Amino acid sequence: MSPISLNHTHNYKLPLKPTSTLTFFSTISPRLSCKFNKKYRVPIICSSSSSNSDKLVELKSGLGKWVFNFAVGAVAVASIFLDFDSPAFAESLTIAFPVSRSMEVNKVQRTLIEAWGLIRESFIDPTFNHQDWDSKLQQTMVEMFPLRSADAAYNKISGMVSSLGDPFTRIINPKEYQNFRIGSDGNLQGVGMFVNAEPTTGHLVVVSCVADSPAARAGIHEGDELVEINGEKLDGYSSETVAQKLRGRAGSTVKVKVHSGKDTAFSSDTREVNLPREYIKLSPISSAVIPHKTPDGHLSRTGYVKLSVFSQTAASDMEKVIHQLEDQGVQSYILDLRNNPGGLVTAGLDVAQLWLDGEETLVYTTDRDRHIFPINMVDGHAITHDPLVILVNEGSASASEILAGALHDNGRAILVGHRTFGKGKIQSVTELHDGSALFVTVAKYLSPLRHEIDKVGITPDVQCTADMLNVPKASVVKDKNAGSVLEADSCILVAEHELDAQQSEGTAS
């Protein structure tokens, strides 16, 4: 299998099956006839020939071109043919279902079929959580038929998708999708809280709070579980739905119930907090120079870089910061990814290329057929080769884990901190014809040394706890620019100790 190469334009492509074309139509007839390639489980071509139908609606999606054509009040009839480059398909499938007389529900039926087809083509689990996915379409369509509102019909799609048992495969409505896109742009109105679904339980866990945000000022911490919003229990909700509920007009308030992530056998802390909504500025990166004395008494300058989220500008912002720190004469770096919940995975790959040379493998992907594909750099040139330590913890997820794994497994960085979150799934995001979006888990990530990330996390080279700290505070030179918070951070002192060791080994060699 040829590797996937990345050039300096940072365009990343994942391996996909051939693009397919779907044409769905309906007319007055008692059957829906669908043909599928059972080997690949992919709908390839659907064609129509109805004279009684409404106008054709043509859509673009990850499958290629989708054409839906419904006659309201009829029984849907369609032929779905598979046409890879191979000469024939193996089997055919015939199902039938009624088309709703409600225009609202009729529109959602189209969304249902579009989502069902995307999942059928690409979902990572070929058993679809040990269920017949073709029958699931027919069952959901029948359940949807007597409904009269789009919301009720939309809930049926969500139920179908949730039956896959993967909290990261989900469908969100147009408004939620707009909020999702805002999250990577940099400005929003809300409470400054990042929430992620815990991979094994689906619980909504706080992974970080924006500094000086309403959530941070209220004492909400990473690891806390979000239980209710405005009195509504959050069981089964996606992180995007929760984000929408937390956001709102600046000046309004939202009441949340949180369960402390630091319970003991003797105490449990669940509390309600009224949070004011404010304008939240997501500044993805901050930096400082930390002077300190090395064991041999020399003064060393360490560049500290905190990356809080992988936004669209993360790599370009990081590049500027590294150049600024190089101009200030730093001799080593600490990259802080603690409580970074991830974001744009491509941004994580872009950041990795700022620290590596050559054609290193940044990450592997493995699909549902267990094919493994490397994603490689092409003729990379690192900005700096100074020693690097990366700080991680249980709040470091997704793109943070990919970046940490890429730099660690390629011998570029030492990891200090705690085991990471363990989100190593790849989601394709497809905007559907009605403005909603479907997230589908299509593959998993492996680190360059092919270590599992999903539900496992990355274990650092050096565990960081206050009890393990064995570096005298006198070794830290006070610097107002670094700030008392950095000076008192035990993990930063451990990182400095590791950097001293790297530089000492480099001098000896």
User: In which element (H, E) is residue 349 found?
Assistant: helix 345-353
Q: CB within 8 A of 247, min separation 6: which ones?
A: 179, 188, 189, 190, 277
Task: Determine the Cα–Cα distance for residues 85 and 88; give it in Å rounded to an integer.
Answer: 9
Sheet holding 414-417, edge to edge: 285-293, 299-307, 332-336, 388-392, 414-417, 462-463
Active site residue 320: no
Active site residue 423: yes
Q: CB within 8 A of 118, min separation 6: which ones?
A: 61, 62, 63, 428, 430, 438, 440
Which residue among 423, 425, 428, 444 is the active-site one?
423
Distance of CA 169 to the CA centre of its chain: 11
- The total of other beta-carbon atoms located within 10 Å of residue 485's CB is 10
| Residue found under tokens 């937390």 | 246
Task: Determine the Cα–Cα distance for residues 55 and 72; give it in Å rounded to an integer.
Answer: 11
451: buried, middle or exposed (CB in 10 Å: 19+, 13-18, 0-12)?
middle
357: buried, middle or exposed (CB in 10 Å: 19+, 13-18, 0-12)?
middle
For residue 210, what are its two tokens?
């924006």
Which residue among 53, 300, 308, 398 is the active-site one?
398
Q: What is the DSSP string of 280-339?
A: EE---EEEEEEEEE-TTS-EEEEEEEEE--B-TTHHHHHHHHHHHHHHTT--EEEEE-TT
Q: CB within 8 A of 455, min separation 6: which ones?
A: 199, 200, 422, 424
Query: What is the CB-side half-sphere exposure of residue 131 using CA atoms within 13 A?
Result: 17
Strand partners, 431: 437
Task: Determine the Cα–Cα distance for residues 354 and 71; give it in Å rounded to an integer.
Answer: 55
Query: What is the CB-side half-sphere exposure of residue 334 using CA atoms within 13 A?
Result: 29
Closest residue by Cα to residue 43 from 117, 95, 94: 117
CA distances, 220 to each of 29, 205, 268, 394, 399 (Å):
58, 11, 15, 16, 23
**Residues classed as catalytic:** 398, 423
